[in-house]
Structure 1
Amino acid sequence: MVPNFNDHYHPLLLQQVPDGARTALDVGCGTGRFARLLSRQGLVVDAVDRDARVVEAARAAGGGPRYRRADVREEHLPESRYDFVSCVASLHHMPFDTVLTLSKSLAPGGVLAVLGLYPVRTVTDFVWALPALSLLQAHRVAGRGRSGPSVQAPIVWPPPLTYDETRAASARLLPGSTLRRLLWWRYLLVHRA
């Protein structure tokens, strides 16, 4: 089994939580690992996913968040409610403009943090992918695996937007946001309300 690259970035995502934050929304929560980390930080966490199986697995794991099955594209999120909104490897399952809905749910001073994925299509993408591929190969050679939940969120590959397309879309939809390329075909998008 391959390592969970998303878990590797949980500390980076936790660094994006604004000081004094009390409420959080974790979109596409999967089995709830990051939502539970947010809850352990003292936040009141709403965690949503549209896949009923992973929501049930998250509930079974417990840990404090309020889990529910919901599709944020169809559900009306309360405006100006959350101090922190996270979207861990789930935005590519939705139209990118869903970030507008998520940003509207931010309280003043709130932060939207998206750990997103992009396909390797350009020379720059490939250069960034080389260290990740080397680490993945070393992991496989060493015979390391990860034991994880028996229920896994669905995998969508390749993601629909390239890194450059994501940069352009985020600049257009979320002026002032930042986008940072990360290893393992990921990026960090941060928008502050």
Structure 2
Amino acid sequence: MVRRDENTAVPRWNHNIHYHRVVLDAVPPSARTALDVGTGDGLLAADLRSRVPSVTGIDTDADVLRRASAEVADVEWVHGDVLTHPFAPASFDVVASVATVHHLPDLRETFRRFAELAAPSGVVVVVGLARSAGVADAMYEVAGVVQHRYHSRRRHLWEHTAPTVWPPPHTYAEVKRAAADVLPGMRWRRLAMWRYAVEWTKDPSA
């Protein structure tokens, strides 16, 4: 689903929107429910709604939720903390998050909560930000700068209204270790433009 800037009618683009496809590609064909954690302006929730019949977006910022709900009506918008909110039902076929994990207080607690909220055979897919540390990360930094310049020239760079945290509190290596500890068998990808992806499928017998 293409969301356009309300002032220019040009399709919105930024680093987070660019990687919505990572989340959408991970959605199982049978998925009926999805949770967008840290939904912010609601663009990922709207994209998920094009694939999944029932989508919930949760965020702690009431102002951005109001703006999101004004754009997209057929999503359940929840003002709350994903770590403590009593969801009913308490499981989802897709638990997704873009640029949110670094806002939450503890990596392992966050990944554990995402796993808890996933239904049996459900997927957890996270696109997040982290800090670079080392030569390998530096190579992705260079690639990120090149891609950012390329896409920014070709597309309309749209600035979201949700709060930001920079620099992220954890390194890529720390995030990878935490995810591997809590989500056994998870798939890790380092992405350009200062992002990583974690994908995990919950055991159907869990």
With normalisation by structure 1, the TM-score equals 0.90
Q: Determine whether 1:135 maps to 2:144.
A: no
TM-score of the aligned structures, taking structure 2 as reference length: 0.84
Which one is further off, 98-107 or 131-140?
131-140
CA distance in 1, matches of 2:190, 2:157: 25
Give the C-alpha shift of residue 64 in structure 1: 1.4
**Are 2:53 and 1:53 aligned?**
no
Q: Which amino acid aligns with 1:88?
A: V
Tell me the distance in 1 between the aligned counterparts of 2:71 and 2:139. 38
Task: Quickly say closer, same or farther: Cα 1:37–1:145, change in 2 above 3 A.
Answer: closer
Q: Is the 8 A contact 1:47 1:65 kept in 2?
A: yes
C-alpha deviation, 1:154, in angstroms: 0.7
Superposed displacement of residue 80, structure 1: 5.7
Q: Which residue pairs with 2:170 in the alignment?
A: 161
Gaps spanning 5+ residues in structure 1: where? none
Determine whether 1:68 maps to 2:84.
no
Q: How far apart, CA to CA, are the structure 1 residues paired with 2:170 and 2:118?
A: 24
User: Which is worse superposed, 29-38 or 94-103?
Assistant: 94-103
- The verdict on how the C-alpha distance between 1:138 and 1:25 changes in structure 2, with shifts beyond 3 A counting, is closer
Where do 1:64-103 residues align within 5 Å? 64-77=74-87, 81-94=91-104, 95-96=106-107, 97-103=109-115
Q: Secondary structure at the match of 2:121?
A: strand
Instruction: Flag structure 2 segments of 5+ consecutive residues without an equivalent.
Output: 1-12
The match for 2:120 among 105, 108, 121 is 108
Q: Secondary structure at the match of 1:168?
A: helix
Letter in 2 for 1:67: W
1:185 has 2:194 as partner: yes
The two structures, once aligned, show a CA RMSD in angstroms of 2.0
- Per the alignment, residue 5 of structure 1 pairs with 15
Aligned in 2, Cα 1:69/1:119: closer, same or farther, shift over 3 Å? same
Count of residue pairs brought into register by the alignment: 189
- Give the corresponding residue for 2:130: 118
Residue type at the aligned position of 2:157 = R
- 1:106–1:79 CA distance, 2 compared to 1 (3 A): farther
Give the share of equivalent positions with the same residue, in percent: 36
Measure, in 2, the Cα distance between the counterparts of 1:65 and 1:56.
12
1:175 corresponds, among 181, 184, 189, to 184
Alpha-carbon offset, residue 143 of structure 1: 9.1
Partner amino acid, structure 1, of 2:184: P
Counterparts of 2:83 and 2:115 in 1: how far apart (Å)? Answer: 13
